[in-house]
């Protein structure tokens, strides 16, 4: 077995944002040497990794040469050069999740086709090559208003996703390849974090419930455990495991889902990395999702995924009307509250709806935790 700890072993991470930073809490705990590549000189990861390199994640030579320096390569963002990963794997480098997995996930159109081919339940959709093609599809009744528009590439944190209800909404869309998805009438938006290592060991975290901001289309609250019937939760876990196995995924995979009015479970989309829906696990779980990702990609035994206590995560995002040097107003007030832990990501500049941090609330009673979460949300403000 490779000696990963206090040794010359090198773990490479493509992307230096907050997910990488939180992963580095655990590499430091285990004294695993880390290399990070990110385009920004001010990347949150810079303060915590052993070696930081500034560079373009979509540039073949940059990613390829970075990958040559390390023993195992992973990523905390999907927008990385796929061809470089393919070449590194050909030369025997371990890349987890693999380029094969990432290729099926990077493009949302390909991802949706993958669900259809593997008989994984998902909302009905139509793929369009550009805006003119989409407009023609509406004219010919191939797709009916209202629908969910998604850019096939580059979307994250609510960007690249819109609900189209009228011609005016359509006019605002960029001219890009997209999918038009049936608007699902759902009771709940759910997620399951699945973790799998190369040996095939697989574990799942409890089902979480997600509450979204109505305008920004990004998660405001993540509630664990989800306030749903145990049979529905079991159905969601079975589908999430099926998704992970179908992708032959290694590492942490976040599977986002809808619970329909008829209590069917539909897969919305996946993220092949630690995810916002698993942040609560830092305080609430026996093994948090970031440590679990590291265990998985190094083919180490997976940790316990059960919760020690109920947990809710509140996203801290930039307030509307504020752009510039960040100030966390009233953070001292929430720090006085029992069971409340703020996490600040280290981004110096705020802008409207930019993810700047999160707060975890733990409590034995999940309904009480939700009330505290509301209080936290209404107290702290991310301003400039």
**Residue 101 covered by a domain:** no
How many domains, the chain?
Answer: 3
Same domain membership, residue 358 and residue 291:
yes
The CATH number given to whatever domain includes residue 76 is: 3.40.50.20
Tell me the C-alpha distance between 66 and 76, whole Å. Answer: 15
**Domain boundary residue, one of 159, 182, 205:** 182
Range(s) of the domain holding residue 246: 186-383
Q: What is the mean pLDDT of residues 82-96?
A: 98
Same domain membership, residue 173 and residue 197:
no
| 182 in a labelled binding site | yes
- Per-residue H/E/C for the chain: CCCCCCCCCEEEEECCCHHHHHHHHHHHHCCCEEEEEECCCCCHHHHCCCEEEECCCCCHHHHHHHHHCCCEEEECCCCCCHHHHHHHHHCCCEECCCHHHHHHHHCHHHHHHHHHHCCCCECCEEEECCHHHHHHHHHCCCCCCCEEEEECCCCCCCCCEEEECCHHHHHCCCCCCEEEEECCCEEEEEEEEEEECCCCCEEECCCEEEEECCCCCCEEEEEECCCCCHHHHHHHHHHHHHHHHHHCCCEEEEEEEEEECCCCEEEEEEECCCCHHHCCHHHHECCCHHHHHHHHHCCCCCCCCCECCEEEEEEEEECCCCCEECEEECHHHHHCCCCEEEEECCCCEECCCCEEEEEEEEECCHHHHHHHHHHHHHHCEEEC
The CATH number given to whatever domain includes residue 346 is: 3.30.470.20
| Confidence band, pLDDT 50/70/90 cuts, at residue 220 | confident
Same domain membership, residue 133 and residue 249:
no
| 189 in a labelled binding site | yes
Please tell me the predicted confidence (pLDDT) of residue 92. Answer: 97
The pTM score is: 0.95
Tell me the C-alpha distance between 37 and 106, whole Å. Answer: 19
Please tell me the predicted confidence (pLDDT) of residue 166. Answer: 87
**Domain boundary residue, one of 133, 162, 182:** 182
Least confident of 139-148, 212-221, 275-284: 212-221
| 61 in a labelled binding site | no
Nearest by Cα to 183 from 146, 135, 137 = 146
**Domain boundary residue, one of 182, 207, 232:** 182
Q: Are 360 and 316 in contact (CB under 8 A)?
A: no
Percent of the chain with pLDDT over 90: 89
| 85 in a labelled binding site | no
Percent of the chain with pLDDT over 70: 98
Please tell me the predicted confidence (pLDDT) of residue 168. Answer: 87
Same domain membership, residue 43 and residue 150:
no
Tell me the C-alpha distance between 120 and 114, whole Å. Answer: 8
pLDDT digits (tens, 9 = 90+) for 148-192: 999 998 766 567 888 999 888 888 899 999 999 999 999 999 999
Least confident of 77-91, 153-167, 357-371: 153-167
| Confidence band, pLDDT 50/70/90 cuts, at residue 315 | very high
What is the residue-averaged pLDDT of the chain? Answer: 95
Please tell me the predicted confidence (pLDDT) of residue 215. Answer: 67
Q: What is the mean pLDDT of residues 331-344?
A: 97
Please tell me the predicted confidence (pLDDT) of residue 157. Answer: 58
| 181 in a labelled binding site | yes
32 pLDDT above the threshold of 90: yes
Same domain membership, residue 80 and residue 194:
no
pLDDT digits (tens, 9 = 90+) for 110-158: 999 999 999 999 999 999 999 999 999 988 888 889 999 999 987 665 6
| 269 in a labelled binding site | yes
């Amino acid at each position: 077995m490779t000696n990963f700890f206090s040794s010359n072993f090198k773990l490479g991470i493509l992307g230096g944002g907050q997910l990488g930073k939180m992963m580095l809490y655990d590499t430091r705990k285990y004294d695993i040497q880390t290399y990070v590549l990110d385009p920004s000189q001010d990347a949150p990861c810079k303060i915590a990794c052993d070696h930081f390199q500034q560079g373009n994640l979509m540039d073949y030579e940059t990613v390829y040469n970075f990958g040559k320096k390390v023993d195992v390569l992973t990523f905390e963002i999907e927008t990385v050069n796929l061809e470089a990963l393919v070449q590194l794997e050909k030369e025997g480098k371990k890349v987890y999740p693999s380029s094969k997995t990432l290729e099926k996930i990077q493009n949302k159109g390909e991802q949706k086709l993958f669900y259809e081919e593997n008989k994984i339940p998902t909302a009905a959709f139509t793929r369009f090559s550009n805006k003119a093609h989409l407009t023609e599809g509406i004219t010919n009744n191939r797709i009916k208003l209202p629908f969910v528009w998604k850019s096939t590439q580059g979307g994250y944190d609510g960007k690249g996703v819109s609900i189209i209800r009228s011609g005016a909404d359509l006019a605002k869309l960029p001219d890009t390849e997209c999918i038009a998805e049936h608007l699902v009438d759902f009771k709940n938006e759910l997620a399951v974090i699945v973790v799998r290592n190369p040996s095939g060991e697989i574990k799942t975290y409890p089902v979480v419930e997600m509450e979204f901001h109505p305008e920004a289309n990004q998660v405001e609250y993540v509630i664990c455990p989800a306030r749903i019937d145990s049979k529905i939760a079991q159905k969601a876990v079975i589908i999430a495991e099926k998704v992970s196995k179908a992708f032959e995924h290694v590492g942490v995979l976040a599977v986002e889902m809808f619970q329909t009015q008829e209590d069917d479970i539909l897969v919305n989309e996946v993220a092949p990395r630690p995810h916002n829906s698993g942040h609560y696990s830092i305080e609430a779980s026996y093994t948090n999702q970031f440590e679990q990702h590291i265990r998985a990609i190094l083919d180490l035994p997976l940790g316990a995924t059960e919760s020690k206590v109920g947990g809710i995560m509140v996203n801290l995002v930039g307030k509307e009307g504020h752009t510039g040097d960040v100030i966390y107003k009233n953070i001292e007030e929430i720090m006085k509250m029992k069971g409340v832990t703020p996490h600040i990501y280290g981004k110096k500049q705020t802008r409207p709806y930019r993810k700047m941090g999160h707060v975890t609330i733990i409590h034995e009673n999940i309904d009480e935790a939700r009330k505290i979460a509301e209080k936290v949300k209404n107290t702290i403000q991310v301003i400039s």
